[in-house]
């Protein structure tokens, strides 16, 4: 175990250093490519986009302002009788901001870049991670560890170099939201948490911008357009934030990659419709997608609420109020879907570090290890010989713990350790176990994450 652990650590170290070298080289290549592009622009050899799309075709007397290469590039859209030259021309003059370059933002950005939006902004503060790749299809492995905005912008430019891509490598906050959003005609909410959704909607109301809102989790997705054509805002629908326990994250509940992909594509579609002034936007209606049953239903939702605190008849929600509003406090949730805060429910002597536990394990201490994660987590990976009793079933299955303890008892009393993924549920479990008489129960601090970090680097994390 020890030498295997050391080997794994060495290999991981080597991989890390190779990755760092690779990303250095890639950064240099990007810089050189940009330099080259600048040179060829000045040479005027035509590989660069025209400064403005409009006006280029006027010399031919076309009237609509589409340059010949634009006509060719977008010909399949121009051929649509219900879209055509006018809609394409509208699109080329429009600007769209996508907040979040994740599961929803990936396909939305790819299609918006491809279809010929004039200016496309991307806001995100995250870096690309391996466990994003299954759904955040705009990013490639070469960008792991680098800014999502940088990665997404490169992908958009690769698809359509004539679109102006604007990178906002920062988290959207009340301090910068007004300034950033005000530069765009349409906002696409592709974020992953409740406070951001309230903040973006409020900001769109203050600035009078239509908001294309999508969400996906597990095998379901939802889509609607807020603050558009007299329709409701996010707060009209959800005046009171949900309890934090109702806000599931993809990192806890999981998500099938294609599900946000579908919703993100639909977000691109709604944004294109609004930008090109074609069709009926999904206002006062909500699309509900259920992947498992293969059903899409479109339901009628309420209109603008006269009593809405932000967009209602007597609402006086100003820029200043927006900037001073504490969205994290309002929703009791952080403005990023990061890991939940670490609980501290137990006294020091009821807790043990993963390192100390591994020592006791090595010394052959009589004990049992209860893993309180849900069963489908346990099936992904677990510590050998641990007993899976999910927290939700703990009360009903106390007898199993008692009998396992009796079996493990040698000459000494067997100890009882509890572990989970991150070290919060294990504390809740120990709290309960101590109350019902298992006074020596201890929680392994930081859960399997700390086990993987401090004891066994080859132990899979998820």
Partner 1 sequence: MSNLCPFALVLRCLQRFHSLAETSSVIFRKRVFAHPSSFAAQRRRDPSKKMQLTLEFGGGLELLCDSVKIHNVNVETPKGAQQLAMRDLLVWVQKNLIKERPEMFIKGDTVRPGVLVLVNDCDWELSGQLDTTLEEKDVVVFISTLHGG
Residue 286 engages partner 1 in binding (rule: CB under 8 A): yes
Q: Are 121 and 96 in contact (CB under 8 A)?
A: yes
420 is catalytic: yes
CA angle 152, 156, 158 (to 5 degrees): 115
DSSP per-residue letters across 222-271 = EEEEESSTT---HHHH-SSPPPGGG---HHHH-B-THHHHHHHHHHHHHH
Q: Counting beta carbons within 10 angstroms of the beta carbon of residue 399, is it exposed (0 to 12), middle (13 to 18) or buried (19 or more)?
A: exposed
Answer with the entry of Zn ion, partner 1, none that 253 interacts with (C-beta below 5 to 8 A by kind): partner 1
Footprint of partner 1 on 77-116 (CB under 8 A): 100, 102-105
Residue position matching structure tokens 């409020």: 202
Q: What is the nearest approach in angstroms of partner 1 to the Cβ of residue 241?
A: 6
Nearer to partner 1, 76 or 300 (CB): 300
Residue 313 engages partner 1 in binding (rule: CB under 8 A): no
Nearest to 210 by CA among 192, 189, 190: 189
- CA quadruple 153, 157, 160, 162: dihedral sign: positive
Contact with partner 1 (CB under 8 A): which of 118, 121, 231, 260?
260
Residue 248 engages partner 1 in binding (rule: CB under 8 A): yes
Cβ-count burial 238-276 (b if 16+ within 10 Å, e if not): eeebeeeeebebbeeeebbebbbbbbbbbbbbbbbbbbb
- Answer yes or no: is 103 a known binding residue: yes
Catalytic residue chosen out of the listed positions 115, 156, 228, 420: 420
Nearer to partner 1, 367 or 373 (CB): 373
Contact with partner 1 (CB under 8 A): which of 2, 79, 158, 297?
297
- How many CB atoms neighbour CB 402 within 10 A? 13
Q: What is the nearest approach in angstroms of partner 1 to the Cβ of residue 375?
A: 13
Residue length, the chain? 462
Residue 132 engages partner 1 in binding (rule: CB under 8 A): no
Stretch of residues binding partner 1 (CB under 8 A), selected from 156-164, 298-306, 354-362, 424-432:
298-306
Backbone φ, ψ for residue 57 (5° rounding)? -90, 5
Residue 306 engages partner 1 in binding (rule: CB under 8 A): no
- Answer yes or no: is 308 a known binding residue: yes
Q: What is the nearest approach in angstroms of Zn ion to the Cβ of residue 322?
A: 13
Contact with partner 1 (CB under 8 A): which of 73, 93, 133, 238?
238
Residue position matching structure tokens 């491809």: 114
Contact with partner 1 (CB under 8 A): which of 97, 190, 225, 372?
190
Residue 230 engages partner 1 in binding (rule: CB under 8 A): no
Q: Are 291 and 256 in contact (CB under 8 A)?
A: yes
Q: What is the nearest approach in angstroms of partner 1 to the Cβ of residue 59?
A: 44
Residue 228 engages Zn ion in binding (rule: CB under 5 A): no
Q: Which residues contact 271 (CB under 8 A, 6 or more apart)?
A: 96, 108, 112, 117, 186, 188, 212
Footprint of partner 1 on 195-224 (CB under 8 A): 197, 214-218, 220-222
Q: How far apart are CA 271 and CA 185, in angstroms?
A: 10
Answer with the entry of Zn ion, partner 1, none that 444 interacts with (C-beta below 5 to 8 A by kind): none
- Answer yes or no: is 41 a known binding residue: no
Q: How far apart are CA 61 and CA 211, in angstroms?
A: 36
250 is catalytic: yes
Binding site for partner 1 (CB under 8 A): 100, 102-105, 190-194, 197, 214-218, 220-222, 237-243, 245-250, 253, 255, 260, 285-286, 288, 290, 293, 295-302, 337, 392
Binding site for Zn ion (CB under 5 A): 233, 235-236, 308, 311
Active-site residue set: 250, 420
């Amino acid at each position: 175990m020890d030498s295997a652990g050391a080997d794994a650590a060495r290999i991981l170290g080597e991989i890390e250093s190779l990755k760092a070298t690779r990303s250095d080289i890639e950064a240099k290549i990007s810089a050189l490519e940009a330099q080259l592009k600048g040179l060829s622009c000045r040479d005027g050899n035509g590989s660069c986009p025209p400064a403005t799309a409009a006006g280029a075709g006027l010399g031919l007397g076309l009237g609509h302002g589409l340059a010949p290469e634009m006509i060719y590039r977008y010909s399949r859209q121009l051929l649509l009788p219900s879209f055509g030259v006018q809609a394409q021309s509208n699109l080329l003059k429009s600007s769209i901001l996508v907040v979040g370059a994740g599961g929803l933002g990936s396909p939305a950005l790819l299609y918006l870049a491809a279809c010929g939006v004039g200016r496309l902004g991307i806001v995100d503060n995250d870096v690309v991670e391996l466990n994003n790749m299954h759904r955040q299809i705009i990013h490639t492995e070469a960008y792991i560890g680098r800014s999502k905005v940088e990665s997404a912008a490169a992908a958009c430019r690769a698809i359509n170099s004539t679109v102006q891509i604007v990178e906002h490598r920062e988290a959207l906050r009340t301090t910068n939201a007004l300034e950033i959003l005000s530069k765009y005609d349409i906002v696409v909410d592709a974020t992953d948490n409740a406070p951001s959704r309230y903040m973006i909607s409020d900001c769109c109301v203050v600035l009078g911008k239509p908001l294309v809102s999508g969400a996906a989790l597990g095998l379901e997705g939802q889509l609607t357009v807020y603050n558009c054509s007299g329709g409701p805002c996010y707060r009209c629908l959800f005046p009171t934030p949900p309890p934090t326990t109702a806000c599931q994250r993809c990192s806890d509940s999981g998500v099938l990659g294609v599900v946000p992909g579908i919703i993100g594509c639909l977000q691109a579609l709604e944004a294109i419709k609004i930008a090109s002034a074609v069709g009926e936007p999904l206002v006062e209606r909500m699309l509900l997608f259920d992947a498992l049953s293969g059903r899409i239903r479109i339901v009628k939702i309420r209109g603008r609420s006269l009593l809405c605190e932000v967009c209602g008849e007597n609402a006086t929600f100003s820029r200043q109020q927006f900037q001073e509003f504490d969205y994290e406090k309002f929703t009791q949730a952080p403005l990023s879907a990061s890991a939940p805060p670490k609980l501290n429910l137990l006294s020091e002597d009821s807790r043990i570090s993963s390192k100390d536990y591994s020592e006791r394990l090595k010394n052959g201490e009589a004990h049992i290890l209860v893993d309180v994660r849900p069963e489908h987590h346990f099936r992904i990976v677990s510590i050998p010989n641990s007993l899976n009793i999910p927290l939700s079933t703990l009360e009903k299955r106390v007898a199993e713990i008692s009998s396992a303890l009796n079996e493990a008892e040698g000459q000494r009393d067997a100890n009882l350790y509890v572990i989970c993924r991150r070290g919060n549920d294990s504390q809740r479990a120990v709290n309960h176990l101590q109350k019902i008489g298992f006074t020596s129960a201890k929680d392994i601090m930081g859960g399997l994450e700390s086990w993987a970090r401090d004891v066994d680097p080859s132990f899979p994390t998820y």
